[in-house]
Amino acid sequence: MECKNKIYALVDINNCYVSCERIFNPSLNNKPVIVLSNNDGCAVARSQEAKDLGIKMGVPLFQIKDIVEQHQVQVLSSNYALYAEMSRRFMKILSDFVSPKEQEIYSIDECFLDLTAHSENYDLTEYAHQIRQRVFSWLGLPVCIGIGRSKTEAKLANHIAKKNAYFNGVCNLVSMDPCSAETLHQAIDVGEIWGVGRKHSKKLNSLGIHSVMDFVLTSPVMIRDQFSVVMHRTLLELHGIACIELEHTPPAKKQIIASRSFGQRIYHIDDLKEAMSLYVMDAVSRLRDDNLLCGCLIGFVQSNPFDSSKPFYNKSLSLALPEPTDNLLLLSKL
């Protein structure tokens, strides 16, 4: 494992889908807004105003109808073509500040930048504010930027920038004095660390590790023995040792999932078959876009897990193909 001295920034669009919608519909500004998944089943994006009402990510729309009506929450269907185009423009602006080798498109609304070489000529906090200002001026998208000595630390800094208005959208942990950084780390739950997740968080809590600061002060040997080399690497990254390089070419996908929540109850098998055919078409389209082939097909269906009046139904079926293919006709028949 090669570890280097680096400085990274993570640039993240705030409430991405909602922010994109607000650009073209300013009447949504300062109002609670949620964007729904395909077929308008669940909330996949929320404005800060909606979050403040207690609306959780992924919650089914029918569960929050009372909140929606009481607080006049604006409910929108997702527009992925719009979000993809705004993401493309966002990434293009960031490319004006770094070279292609210094940029990693991490997701539709997140991008890592390697600012190591720029630290010699710029105050990186000011440089980040310039990036933030240009994105907002040119696109109208609000972003937060976290700067750290590793990608994991940059992720953490971005979290701090989002949660603390004091930083005005930019948190630079590289230039922050140790006492201030420790105070912030003590107040952040260990589960917020990039790569820790809910499962590891529970185990860490059982070991008396509850905050980011607790984790940073933990023995690296214990973390490696109790968890994995990956968690050990995460700890090193939070100590400012960069172990995770930028990825300029996204790794090939191992699976493609086309799954939707229905906006209304399905009672007839023909309706279900029609939906499955559409999902296969969607999956094959993305398969071809990535120049991949399908070697295994898995179909699954389940009833509403939140309807306690009826028994929960959940079935799946997998089929290994004798030869990998992207033939839509063949896959649809299966």
Which conformational region is residue 259 in: left (phi greater than 0), alpha (psi within -120 to 50 degrees), or beta? beta
Distance CA 160, CA 299 (A): 40
What are the structure tokens assigned to 311, written together?
Answer: 């028994």
List, in order, residues 6 or more apart from 196 with CB less than 8 Å away: 190, 204, 215, 231, 234
Residue 147 near residue 158, CB atoms below 8 Å? no
Pairing of strands 143-148, 170-172: parallel
**What ranges in the chain are assigned the alpha helix state H?**
16-24, 48-52, 65-71, 80-94, 124-139, 151-163, 178-186, 197-206, 212-216, 220-226, 229-238, 269-289, 328-333
Structure-token match 């105070």, residue found: 183
| Annotation says 110 is catalytic | yes
Catalytic residue among 49, 104, 110, 237: 110
Q: Which residues are annotated as catalytic?
A: 110
